Amino acid sequence: MGKYWKYIYVFALIILFFNLITESPNDKIEKKQNEIKFSDFVAKAKKGELESIVIKGDVVEGTLKSKGDEKSGKKDEKKESQKFTSKVLFYPRLLEILEEKQIPTEIKIEAPFEFSFLEIVRVFATFLWIIVLVLLFRSLKSDKFSLGKSNIKMFTSDMQKVRFSDVLGADEAKQEVAEIVDFLSDPTKYSRLGAKIPKGVLLVGAPGTGKTLLAKAIAGEAGVPFFSTSGSEFVEMFVGVGASRVRALFEQAKKSAPCLVFIDEIDAVGRHRGSGYGGGNDEREQTLNQLLVEMDGFETNTGIIIIAATNRVDVLDDALLRPGRFDRQVYIDLPDLKGREAILKKYISKVNILSDVDVVSVARGTPGFSGAELANLVNEAAIIAARKNKKKISQEDFEYARDKILMGLEHKSKTMSPEELKNTAYHEAGHALCSVLLPEVDPIHKATIIPRGQALGLVQQLPERDKVSVNITEIRSNIAVALAGRISEETFFGKDKITTGASSDIQAATKYARNSVVFWGLSPKIGTVYYGEREKYPISEETSREIDLEVKRMIDEGYKLAKSTITKNKAKLEKLAKALLEYETLTGDEVRAIVNGKKIKLTKKVDVVKNRIERESTLPFTDRKVKQKEEKKK
């Protein structure tokens, strides 16, 4: 019936339009203007000013004599008689007056049940609009159009095709929720021992780690109905609508119990109460209160398990996290090396790749990638291969896609002056040199002076294994590596020639140092005290000053370490810079070989000279001629 609604509305509008145009507005205005009072009609009849009249029921229509006729007593055909209408009231002598003045009178008696075609259409249109309004009012009360109804999606067991085997890289999380599946499949196994299954399970993890996928897998394994919605679905402008939707959600879930209710991004509605506008009367807090009541009210919601997902568990209200509501919190971490390898194999199986693609190497080069990011990596590699008109995806395409995601798109057409290019080469050579020589630094993967993203050049490092913690030596070395670019500029070009290119490096070094002091307790002077959230734990001005001094001290130590490393190895840094100027991009193996004094076969020159010529074309003509002569002499 729903698909025919638009035709019903269109037909009703056509009838209404026809009903409106059957009687012209001009006719209505003319009738209103020609209408006279009954007393005036009788007076004109007594004076003989009427030419003729027609009586239809309680309405009289007629024409008045023209003024020329009244004076001459003759009828002038050129002059139009004025028409009039009037209501007929009870007046016994009316017919006598009309007969006495010899006014032609016609009396029409209409049948009470005779209707014209237009009147029938008007009656039909009126009834049609009454029916349309009744149906529209009923539809507004239905689930589809009501503000108070929850706009949730229900998936039956036949529609659920996701299983635990589809969730990769989260083995511990799957083990944690496996008993929920067992309970939904065989509740008596737990009830006979007096055990109660958790009412709510909160899935916590970074974006893209597979929280929604895991919730679908739970419902798919258990074979029960699965209701899916999000926290933002409950929040509306009108106070009380969200609470009504929560009630409607649980009413629908009770009818399908046992079942699962999944609320994605629950932090949209479950934040700490009292932090919004209006105290406890705003819409979000009303909705949260209703959710708390439904999850642990007087009525037991047997067979309904709430699964919620968030990446901001720190902002959730304490009442929502207590036992009896969300009894269990399941943390879904980023996949480790084995998990990334399994996820990549799943997505790679859906595309065409060459047989020599090393999935383990790709997985090792993507630390910190979530499942969604790995899926995006495979898709980017497929797009890159298709752009090159390849039939299959190669290892090179995966490497290029990873570099594009991590470092940004190459801007080979970006013009730079020779001075800027040389400065960038020595800057990146400083980073690369310290990455190789300093202890406990992640291995260098690539160094380039081709602009990527917002950077004019960069040095990329990739860890050999997954890390869960860092030590003080590693932090000190990373600070030195971050500052090495600025120190290299200062060493080779002087303090007056250093540029603003180190702004992101300074931010990275400061972040390392500040985290070490306020979060990780690695400062001997400040001690093992947490100063991370100053809003919750205010600190004195003296302590704040000491923190700033400690951060400055750690940065100064890193600066000295990088300065001494570059000063002792100026010749190696200069070789690196010249290689970057010639080839623009060096792999990690090539950088290590140059630093260790080995002879290697560098990557072939592809469009590198052309790129440099395009960049030099921005110089004045005379400067280009001088530079070309100098190159010919060499």
Q: Please say whether the beta carbons of 510 and 486 come within 8 A.
A: no
Cis peptide bond upstream of 112, omega within 30: no
The letter for the amino acid at 57 is G
Phi, psi of 312 (to 5 degrees): -130, 65
H or E element at residue 445: strand 444-448
In whole angstroms, how large is the CA radius of gyration of the chain? Answer: 43
Strands 458-461 and 105-108: unpaired
Q: Please say whether the beta carbons of 169 and 336 come within 8 A.
A: yes
Cβ–Cβ contacts within 10 Å for residue 180, how many? Answer: 21
Place of tokens 């990557």: 603
Q: Is 428 a catalytic residue?
A: yes
105 SS3 class: strand
The letter for the amino acid at 164 is F
Q: Among residues 541, 474, 471, 548, which one has the least CA distance to residue 514?
A: 548
CA quadruple 240, 246, 252, 254: dihedral sign: negative
Beta carbons within 8 Å of 270's beta carbon, 6+ residues apart? 231, 288, 291, 308, 310, 316, 317, 320
Looking at residue 170, what DSSP letter applies?
-
Where residue 389 falls (left for φ over 0; alpha for ψ -120 to 50; beta otherwise) is left
Measured between alpha carbons, how far is 295 from 313 in angstroms, rounded to an integer?
18
Place of tokens 């190669």: 394
Per the residue annotation, which of 233, 265, 285, 428 is the catalytic one?
Answer: 428
User: Annotated active-site positions, please?
Assistant: 428
